[in-house]
């Protein structure tokens, strides 16, 4: 469905480069960290607002390494949840069972302070004709959720 829409937009030149950039900027106002990952090949591409998280995330790299590095910024009470949620094999298992999306809320270090904030991570499987497990993960702060317990849905 999306491929056909994108193909149609591209063939008709409906979206200019400026339009695409404007769309990305708008989405990033809500989701300041967007990670596109190929779980099958252990690769990712990240687009982020540098002020969002405590740790710098390289723009590209190995998915497993990004997760291993990121766990240090998660509150100690939620590190196991973070590691389980973002375990590449667990995500592949979830998606291969038919799930299209998984969601978690994680208590993570906030950039520029010693405090923590709640982050929602919404991982969505994208259809890929190669059969690879491709996902996009949309991440945002949950500023009104100070008394939450970490969860996975």
Please write the tens of the pLDDT for every residue from 59-91: 899 999 999 999 988 999 999 999 999 999 999
Q: Are 106 and 85 in contact (CB under 8 A)?
A: yes
| pTM score of the predicted model | 0.80
Question: 75 and 131, same structural domain?
Answer: yes
Name the one residue in this structure whose structure tokens are 């991440």: 139
Total domains, the chain: 2
For residue 10, the model assigns a pLDDT of 61
Question: 40 and 67, same structural domain?
Answer: yes
Separation between Cα atoms, residue 127 and residue 7, nearest integer Å: 15
Question: 26 and 45, same structural domain?
Answer: no
Confidence category of residue 6, pLDDT binned at 50, 70, 90: low
Higher per-residue pLDDT: 114 or 66: 66
43 by Cβ neighbours in 10 Å (0-12 / 13-18 / 19+) ranks as middle
Question: 53 and 12, same structural domain?
Answer: no
Range of the domain at 14: 1-30
Question: 88 and 42, same structural domain?
Answer: yes
Question: 136 and 88, same structural domain?
Answer: yes
Question: 36 and 16, same structural domain?
Answer: no
Strand order in the sheet with 43-48: 60-62, 43-48, 33-38, 134-141, 116-126, 101-109, 151-152
Question: 22 and 36, same structural domain?
Answer: no
CA angle 82, 50, 46 (to 5 degrees): 60
Question: 110 and 50, same structural domain?
Answer: yes
Mean pLDDT of 100-116: 84
For residue 26, the model assigns a pLDDT of 79
Question: 107 and 87, same structural domain?
Answer: yes
Question: 127 and 83, same structural domain?
Answer: yes
End-to-end CA distance of the chain: 25
């Amino acid at each position: 469905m999306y491929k056909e829409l994108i193909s149609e937009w591209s063939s008709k030149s409906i979206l200019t480069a400026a339009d695409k950039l404007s769309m990305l900027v708008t989405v990033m106002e809500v989701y300041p960290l967007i990670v596109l990952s190929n779980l099958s090949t252990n690769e990712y591409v990240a687009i982020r607002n540098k002020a969002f998280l405590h740790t710098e995330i390289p723009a590209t790299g190995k998915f497993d390494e990004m997760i291993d590095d990121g766990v240090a910024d998660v509150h100690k009470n939620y590190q196991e949840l973070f590691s389980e949620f973002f375990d590449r094999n667990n995500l592949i298992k979830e998606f291969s069972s038919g799930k299209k999306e998984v969601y978690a809320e994680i208590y993570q270090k906030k950039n520029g302070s010693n405090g923590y904030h709640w982050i929602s991570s919404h991982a969505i499987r994208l259809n890929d004709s190669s059969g690879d497990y491709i996902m996009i993960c949309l991440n945002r702060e949950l500023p009104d959720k100070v008394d939450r317990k970490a969860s996975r849905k």
